[in-house]
């Protein structure tokens, strides 16, 4: 009696086994690749200074909001100022307008300085 016959490319057993391997192989490789990608992604994302990024994001939103308030102030007080003795500091007809302007300007300058500090922190 002859021994078992080896499966060949034309043997149905070979075709089923090959088909099974083809069906299972890519899934296995895909999940392995997905694990590697996720691990790589996690490693990269952990390297970012998220606290600094969130702080800077909030500061930029504040900076934009403060500029909006300044533009609204200019709109409401159009024509009520003249060129001041200090560059970049107009003089207003009313002390109230002067105080509001100075407060808004100081907020914008301070927020701008904080943003610059956050950029320095991120680049260190």
70-122 pLDDT, tens per residue? 999 999 999 998 888 888 789 999 999 999 999 999 999 999 999 999 888 77
**Dihedral (Cα; 48, 50, 56, 61), 10-degree rounding:** 120
Q: Which two tokens stand for residue 119?
A: 């950029």
For the cut 70, the answer to whether the pLDDT of residue 36 exceeds it is yes
Please report, for the chain, the start and end positions of each structural domain, with discontinuous segments joined by +. 1-47, 50-123
- The residue among 29 and 68 whose pLDDT is bigger is 68
Closest residue by Cα to residue 105 from 75, 67, 74, 76:
67
The predicted structure's pLDDT at residue 78: 92
> pTM (2 decimals)?
0.62
């Amino acid at each position: 009696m002859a021994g078992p016959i080896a499966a060949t490319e034309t043997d149905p057993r070979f075709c089923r086994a090959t088909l099974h391997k083809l069906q299972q192989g890519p899934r296995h490789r895909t999940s392995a690749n997905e694990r590697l990608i996720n691990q790589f992604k996690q490693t990269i994302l952990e390297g970012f200074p998220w606290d600094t990024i969130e702080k800077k994001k909030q500061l930029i939103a504040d900076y934009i909001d403060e500029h909006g308030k300044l533009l609204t102030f200019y709109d409401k007080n159009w024509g009520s100022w003249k060129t001041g003795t200090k560059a970049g500091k107009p003089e207003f007809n009313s002390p109230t307008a002067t105080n509001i302007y100075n407060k808004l300007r100081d907020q914008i300058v301070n927020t701008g300085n904080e943003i610059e500090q956050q950029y320095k922190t991120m680049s260190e």
